[in-house]
């Protein structure tokens, strides 16, 4: 949903100068684990009119998410100033657009908003459920396909840190229930964050390191047969 200044039949906070001396401000933080992307939303609205409607649940904050590459679209409505939204990895790929609004949750027959531009005069407006009352900005982040190769390794290989000092070659033990791989302290410190899935919003660097380490581990195993 690409937003630009529009002409609404009623004043909308955040749409140009429709409403003066007030704003809908939002902070969006994106994080990820092995299963989901998370959108943490913090919102502050300085319009007394709109805050009053939200308090009465006549309006709500709304976060709209859209990923054109997977045809994913979702709108989440809530009344608190903070919200965490979880989206499974498989539903997102490449650009994901996130926008914040305030939308009416029921009809408001005589809507007036404090600070409306003088061009609106003393007019009141008939608001329908779902109408947008405020625009709070947004962002675009990039979701990349989740790489499961490290999880596959964890099911058959146990990685541990060597008790010996200094840089040492990888040691492999095939006698346990899982293949045991012992890494030097430096190698283990590089590997451990990957297994914890501490990926950023755009985790290309981490995935590249994971793939490199996977090739090194599998390449060091003796052939079977």
Of the chain, the percentage scoring pLDDT greater than 90 comes to 57
pLDDT of residue 149: 47
Q: Are residues 159 and 119 in the same domain?
A: no
With a cut of 50, say whether residue 225 has pLDDT above it. Answer: no
pLDDT of residue 169: 81
Q: Are residues 41 and 128 in the same domain?
A: yes
pLDDT of residue 217: 53
Q: In which residue are the tokens 């709304």 written?
A: 62
End-to-end CA distance of the chain: 56
Domain enclosing residue 172, as ranges:
149-219
With a cut of 70, say whether residue 97 has pLDDT above it. Answer: yes
Q: Are residues 73 and 120 in the same domain?
A: yes
Number of domain units in the chain:
2
Residues 6+ apart with CB under 8 A from 61: 41, 43, 54, 77, 78, 79, 80, 81, 83, 100, 101, 102, 136
- The last residue of a domain, from among 143, 163, 196: 143
Q: In which residue are the tokens 């005069």 written?
A: 121
Of the chain, the percentage scoring pLDDT greater than 70 comes to 75
Q: Are residues 153 and 81 in the same domain?
A: no
With a cut of 80, say whether residue 178 has pLDDT above it. Answer: no
- The last residue of a domain, from among 143, 162, 197: 143
Q: Determine whether 211 is exposed, middle or buried from the number of CB atoms within 10 Å of its CB (0-12, 13-18, 19+).
A: middle
Q: Are residues 176 and 160 in the same domain?
A: yes
Q: Per-residue confidence at 153, pLDDT binned at 50, 70, 90?
A: low
pTM higher than 0.85? no
Q: Are residues 123 and 30 in the same domain?
A: yes
Q: Are residues 36 and 136 in the same domain?
A: yes
Tell me the mean pLDDT in the region 46-62: 97
């Amino acid at each position: 949903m690409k937003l630009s200044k529009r002409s609404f039949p009623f004043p909308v906070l955040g749409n140009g100068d429709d409403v003066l001396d007030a704003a809908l401000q939002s902070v969006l933080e994106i994080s990820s684990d092995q299963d989901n992307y998370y959108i943490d939303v913090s919102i502050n609205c300085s319009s007394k009119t709109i805050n009053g409607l939200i308090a009465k649940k006549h309006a709500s904050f709304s976060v709209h998410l859209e990923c054109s590459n997977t045809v994913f679209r979702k709108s989440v409505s809530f009344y608190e100033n903070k919200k965490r939204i979880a989206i499974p990895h498989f539903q997102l790929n490449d650009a994901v657009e996130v926008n914040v609004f305030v939308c009416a949750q029921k009809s408001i027959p005589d809507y007036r908003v404090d600070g409306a531009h003088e061009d609106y005069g003393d007019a009141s407006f008939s608001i329908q459920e779902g109408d947008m009352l405020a625009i709070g900005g947004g962002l675009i982040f990039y979701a990349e396909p989740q790489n499961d190769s490290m999880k596959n390794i964890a099911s058959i290989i146990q990685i541990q840190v060597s008790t010996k000092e200094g840089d040492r070659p990888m040691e492999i033990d095939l006698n346990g229930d899982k293949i045991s791989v012992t890494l030097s302290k430096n190698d283990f410190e590089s590997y451990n964050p990957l297994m914890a899935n501490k990926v950023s919003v755009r985790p290309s660097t981490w995935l590249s390191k994971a793939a490199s380490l996977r090739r090194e581990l599998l390449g060091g195993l003796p052939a079977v047969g």
